[in-house]
């Protein structure tokens, strides 16, 4: 009989699942056996049956689960999303597009924010970011002034926390938007745990609407997210947005895991998150920490290792750690970012500690430069609006022909995946060349850059 071809993805993930590893990456369930039992593979993967409700219905099992989640989050409404935080961001921006043609965003916004602006023909107004230790930090101090000037802005969409665990001053943002009757939306894809880990930083305390990307930091399956809304009128538009963007076949295991993540976080409470943050502090204060420079951000569930400041090449250390069973979330060439969740156990930190100490005894590769992403804090010149540029006829040009031309797309280096130059801004020679030369850039197609056609 003819043999089935080898399923490449399945083989790769099964191989990883069989290894004894410390998972400092998403999803937040960390592959614990307990969750395998709870989400029980194919048997729980069902469809809408007589008893199982319907994500699009205002009544029934799922509506009841959402009501209970809203009670837990203290919000007007809570929507389960099975298509990632990206889908929730689309729904929030859709609702915003009914209230204004511009949206104030930080340049470090996730690509889903830029895509949503493109879809709804909204213009970004950039909130300044300041560079600190090689990271771009959202600076809300000028928000009041921007809101005064930008009358067409529906409001602001902040990212909190960002991929590194930095949190902008949400209190200031909430004050300014409330005073002007504008929206405060928050991309909290990395912040679902903060309701308990650091309630004073939790998006839901400040925002009109926000997304908790529960799969990133809580025990939920990949793609599970929860969209919280604190305003009844806004909720109508958000619910409409969700009904447009989400699948009509939501995965029951993902929905169940979104609910489970929220309830689990409430159950373990502040104590559960303190336990894991204390384990991280112990590592930093101990022998490994004395040999390495860790950087702390507002979110204690993000552990950042500054490789150049520790005298090390980041890529070589990542390779070594993985060989020794320790998988981090990402490295940007300077930092290695370890994502922690309540499901990380002491053994994970022991593995990391041992590997870090052992690495110092090897002939490790030394840092060659500070390792920052190129063009951090670069401020390109705007030539035309974002909306015009993404909708204009375009050419694909080689970097030598890109200088001074207007980008027709967003380009940058990843991770993290935010643009250095956005549509409507002018390329410099150096940036065009660096983007095409880099292995880890996005926006580049076959070594060419998408630019607005001359004369348009």
Ligand X SMILES: Cc1ncc(COP(=O)(O)O)c(C=O)c1O
Report the residue from 213, 253, 308, 443 that binds ligand X according to the rule CB under 6 A: 213
Shortest distance in whole angstroms from residue 129 CB to ligand X? 14
Establish if 192 lies at the interface with ligand X (CB under 6 A): no
For the chain, report the end-to-end CA distance as a whole number of angstroms. Answer: 60
Report the residue from 24, 35, 114, 163 that binds ligand X according to the rule CB under 6 A: 163
Strand order in the sheet with 302-306: 294-295, 302-306, 335-339, 330-331
Of 24 and 359, which has the nearer Cβ to ligand X? 24
User: Which one of 45-53, 79-87, 93-101, 398-406 is the stretch in contact with ligand X (CB under 6 A)?
Assistant: 79-87
Establish if 228 lies at the interface with ligand X (CB under 6 A): no
Of 300 and 353, which has the nearer Cβ to ligand X? 300
Report the residue from 23, 30, 110, 246 that binds ligand X according to the rule CB under 6 A: 110
Residue nearest to ligand X (CB): 84
Shortest distance in whole angstroms from residue 51 CB to ligand X? 28
Q: How far apart are CA 433 and CA 398, in angstroms?
A: 9
CB 106 within 8 A of CB 159: yes
Neighbours of 327 (CB within 10 A): 15
- Could you give the C-alpha distances from 25 to 40, 163, 274, 338, in angstroms and in order? 22, 12, 19, 7
Element (H, E) at 295: strand 294-295
Establish if 412 lies at the interface with ligand X (CB under 6 A): no
User: Which one of 3-11, 63-71, 80-88, 166-174 is the stretch in contact with ligand X (CB under 6 A)?
Assistant: 80-88
Backbone phi, psi, residue 430, to 5°: -65, -45
Establish if 160 lies at the interface with ligand X (CB under 6 A): no
Report the residue from 82, 85, 344, 387 that binds ligand X according to the rule CB under 6 A: 85
Establish if 82 lies at the interface with ligand X (CB under 6 A): no
Which SS3 state, helix, strand or coil, does residue 332 take?
coil
Which SS3 state, helix, strand or coil, does residue 131 take?
strand
- Residues 6 or more apart whose CB falls under 8 angstroms from that of 175 comprise none
Report the residue from 75, 97, 159, 230 that binds ligand X according to the rule CB under 6 A: 159
Q: How far apart are CA 439 and CA 208, in angstroms?
A: 39
Establish if 86 lies at the interface with ligand X (CB under 6 A): yes
- Residues 6 or more apart whose CB falls under 8 angstroms from that of 339 comprise 24, 25, 26, 28, 216, 217, 301, 302, 328, 329
Establish if 158 lies at the interface with ligand X (CB under 6 A): no
- Residues 6 or more apart whose CB falls under 8 angstroms from that of 241 comprise 90, 91, 92, 93, 94, 95
* DSSP string for residues in 374-439: TTTT--PPB-S-HHHHHHS-EEEE-GGGTTTPBBSS-EEETTTTEEEE-TTBBPPHHHHHHHHH-T
Which SS3 state, helix, strand or coil, does residue 293 take?
coil
Which positions from 356 to 375 touch ligand X by CB under 6 A, shown as an x/- string?
--------------------
Of 227 and 352, which has the nearer Cβ to ligand X? 227
Establish if 419 lies at the interface with ligand X (CB under 6 A): no
Of 163 and 427, which has the nearer Cβ to ligand X? 163
Establish if 189 lies at the interface with ligand X (CB under 6 A): yes
Establish if 187 lies at the interface with ligand X (CB under 6 A): yes
Establish if 410 lies at the interface with ligand X (CB under 6 A): no
Establish if 166 lies at the interface with ligand X (CB under 6 A): no
Of 144 and 415, which has the nearer Cβ to ligand X? 415
User: Which one of 184-192, 231-239, 377-385, 448-456 is the stretch in contact with ligand X (CB under 6 A)?
Assistant: 184-192
Establish if 217 lies at the interface with ligand X (CB under 6 A): no
Q: Are strands 102-106 and 153-159 parallel, antiparallel or unpaired?
A: parallel
User: Which one of 37-45, 82-90, 117-125, 382-390 is the stretch in contact with ligand X (CB under 6 A)?
Assistant: 82-90
Shortest distance in whole angstroms from residue 190 CB to ligand X? 6
Binding residues vs ligand X (CB under 6 A): 84-86, 110, 112, 159, 163, 187, 189-190, 213, 225
């Amino acid at each position: 009989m003819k043999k089935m071809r080898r399923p490449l993805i399945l083989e790769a993930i099964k191989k990883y699942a069989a290894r004894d590893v410390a998972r400092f990456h998403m999803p937040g369930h960390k592959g614990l056996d307990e969750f395998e039992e709870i989400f029980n593979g194919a048997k729980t993967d069902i469809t809408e049956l007589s008893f199982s409700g319907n994500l699009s219905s205002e009544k029934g099992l799922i509506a009841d689960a959402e009501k209970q989640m809203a009670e837990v989050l203290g919000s007007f409404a809570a929507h389960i999303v099975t298509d990632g935080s990206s889908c929730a961001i689309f729904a929030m921006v859709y609702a915003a597009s009914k209230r204004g043609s511009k949206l104030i965003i930080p340049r470090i916004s996730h690509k889903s924010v830029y895509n949503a602006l493109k879809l709804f023909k909204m213009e970004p107004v950039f909130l300044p970011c300041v560079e600190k230790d090689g990271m771009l930090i959202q600076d809300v101090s000028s928000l009041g002034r921007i809101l005064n000037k930008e009358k067409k802005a529906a409001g602001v969409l902040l990212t909190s926390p960002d991929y590194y665990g930095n949190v902008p001053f949400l209190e200031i943002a909430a004050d300014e938007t409330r005073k002007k009757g504008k929206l405060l939306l928050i991309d909290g894809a990395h912040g679902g745990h903060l309701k308990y880990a650091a309630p004073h930083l939790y998006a839901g305390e400040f925002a009109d609407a926000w997304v908790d990307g529960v799969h990133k930091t809580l025990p939920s399956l990949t793609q599970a997210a929860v969209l919280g809304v604190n305003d009844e009128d806004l909720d109508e538009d958000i619910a409409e947005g969700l009904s447009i963007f989400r699948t009509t076949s939501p995965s029951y295991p993902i929905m169940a895991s979104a609910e489970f993540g929220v309830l689990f976080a409430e159950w373990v409470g502040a104590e559960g998150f303190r336990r894991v943050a204390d384990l991280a502090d112990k590592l930093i204060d101990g022998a490994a920490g004395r040999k390495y420079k860790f950087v702390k951000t507002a979110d204690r569930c993000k552990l950042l290792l500054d490789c150049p400041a520790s005298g090390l090449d980041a890529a070589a250390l990542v390779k070594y750690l993985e060989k020794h069973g320790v998988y981090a979330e990402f490295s940007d060439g300077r930092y290695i970012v370890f994502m922690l969740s309540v499901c990380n156990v002491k053994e994970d930190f022991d593995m990391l500690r041992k590997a870090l100490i052992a690495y110092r005894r090897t002939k490790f590769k030394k840092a060659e430069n500070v390792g920052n992403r190129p063009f951090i804090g670069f401020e390109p010149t705007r030539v035309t609006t974002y909306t015009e540029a993404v909708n204009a006829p375009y050419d694909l040009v080689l970097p030598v022909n890109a200088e001074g031309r207007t980008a027709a797309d967003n380009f940058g280096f990843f991770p993290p995946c935010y643009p250095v130059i956005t549509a409507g801004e002018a390329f410099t020679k150096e940036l065009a060349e660096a983007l095409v030369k880099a292995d880890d850039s996005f926006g580049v197609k076959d070594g060419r850059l998408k630019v607005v056609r001359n004369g348009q």
